[in-house]
Amino acid sequence: MTTAAQPREASEKVDLWLRMYRQMVAIRQFEAQVNELYTRALMPGLAHLYIGEEAVAVGVCEALERTDYITSTHRGHGHCLAKGASPDQMFAELLGKKAGYCKGKGGSMHIADPATGNLGANAIVCGSAGIATGAAFSARRLGNGRVSVCFFGEGALGQGVLYEVMNLAQLFKLPVIYVCENNLYTEYTHYSETTAGDILMRATAFGLESASVDGQDVRAVHAISQRLVERARRGDGPAFLLCDTYRYHGHHVGDINREYYRSKQEEQTWKTERDPIANFGKWLVEQKLADAAALDRTQAELESEMKKAVDFAVAAPYPAVEEVEQDVYA
């Protein structure tokens, strides 16, 4: 899709953009299958879908090395995939199967994978802020040049520990980036009802490098992330990135009737005007970096890949009951 005349740098950029497109589609297709599994009652527990927010995870994680760390949230499938997790082991985990990332012991809200630097998704809102900060602490102390990213939703802004660790991170000049995904809703409540004052000022008050970005624009998220990651890696300290985004589905899959907290029209506007995948695809076509047919093929390929991963997970065995007492202690 690139021409030989293009300089190398531009060609690398195009590869990156196409990879980001693919990653966003992968996340959306993954989540579509999760929705399907859940509605077919094949998936135990709860599922919190990341659909609509793909550009945040992908834009940030594409600015990271494989050895860099992330922590994730209850709405974490997108972060895990963007950091390199494989869909078959993820689906297996979602179904509580032995082949899952956590041998079925963690489930949807606790996917962890040392091989991709994923310290774990966390089902306590803001629960991983300390862990992400600690990973940055050890990166600095051990001098291994790693950076740590803490993903959290705007609901976590209500937790005091966030401010404790931002203070620590700035005091110790730690290479950690706090990525706040403001999807507007803290479960079933608009964030404006729970969040006083100015969000960014909370971080600037501690001296953190702070920025906000359109979380539906993957190129913008990536560009700013790259700057913050490089800065952190250089030893210039922590940063806070506020991403404006939107959760297309409910708080979890079962949250169907949402009109008491947000209108269908609002949902429709975000989906039609600000969809991160559609808009990015349109831009790629306009820039003649990809043709529409190729993008459609990507969609179809990933849908089929996700279906295969689901089949693998459905067929995979559960852990033996004897495993219940394993892994309590190392």
Partner 1 sequence: MPETGGRELTFAQAIREALAEEMRRDPTVCILGEDVAEAGTPFKVLSGLLEEFGKDRVVDTPISEAGFTGLAVGAAMTGMRPVVDIMFGDFITLTMDQMVNQAAKVHYMSGGKWKVPMVMRTTMGATRRSAAQHSQSLHAWFCHVPGLKVVLPSTPYDAKGLLKSAIRDENPVVFFEDKMMYKLKGPVPAGDYTVPLGVADVKRVGEDITLVATSSMVQVALGAATLLEEIGISAEVVDPRTLWPLDEKTLIESAKKTSRAIVLDEGYERYGVTAELASVIATGAFYDLDAPVKRMGAMHVPIPFSPPLEDVTVPTEQTVFEAARTLCGR
Pairing of strands 209-214, 239-244: parallel
Q: List alpha helices for 95-196, DSSP H.
A: 129-142, 160-171
Task: Report the amino acid identity of residue 140.
Answer: R
Check residue 327 for interaction with partner 1 (CB under 8 A).
Answer: yes
Torsion sign across C-alpha atoms 184, 247, 44, 90: negative
Check residue 171 for interaction with partner 1 (CB under 8 A).
Answer: yes
Sole binder of partner 1 in the list 13, 22, 103, 173 (CB under 8 A): 103
Q: Which residue has tokens 């806070």?
A: 240
**DSSP assignment string, 254-281:** T----TTTS-HHHHHHHHHH--HHHHHH
Sole binder of partner 1 in the list 47, 57, 156, 165 (CB under 8 A): 165
- Asked if residue 123 lies in contact with residue 72, where contact means CB atoms within 8 angstroms, the answer is no
- Asked if residue 111 lies in contact with residue 77, where contact means CB atoms within 8 angstroms, the answer is yes
Task: Report the amino acid identity of residue 279.
Answer: N
Q: Which residue has tokens 């920025």?
A: 211
Sole binder of partner 1 in the list 34, 60, 132, 239 (CB under 8 A): 132
Check residue 160 for interaction with partner 1 (CB under 8 A).
Answer: yes
Rounded to 5°, angle at Cα 244 from 116 and 137: 40
**Residue count at the site for partner 1 (CB under 8 A)?**
47
Check residue 161 for interaction with partner 1 (CB under 8 A).
Answer: yes
CA–CA gap between residue 326 and residue 92 (Å, rounded): 19
151 in helix, strand or coil? strand
Sole binder of partner 1 in the list 49, 139, 228, 242 (CB under 8 A): 139
Stretch that binds partner 1, among 140-148, 180-188, 212-220, 279-287 (CB under 8 A): 140-148
- Minimum CB distance to partner 1 smaller for 134 or for 215: 134
Check residue 46 for interaction with partner 1 (CB under 8 A).
Answer: no
Sole binder of partner 1 in the list 13, 110, 258, 271 (CB under 8 A): 110
At its nearest, how many Å lie between partner 1 and the CB of residue 144? 8
The site string for partner 1 over 48-87 (x = CB under 8 A, - otherwise) reads: ---------------------x-x----------------
140 bridge partner residues: none
- Minimum CB distance to partner 1 smaller for 15 or for 164: 164
Which positions touch partner 1 (CB under 8 A)? 69, 71, 100-106, 110, 112-114, 119-120, 122, 124, 127-139, 141-142, 144, 148, 160-161, 164-165, 167-168, 171-172, 326-330
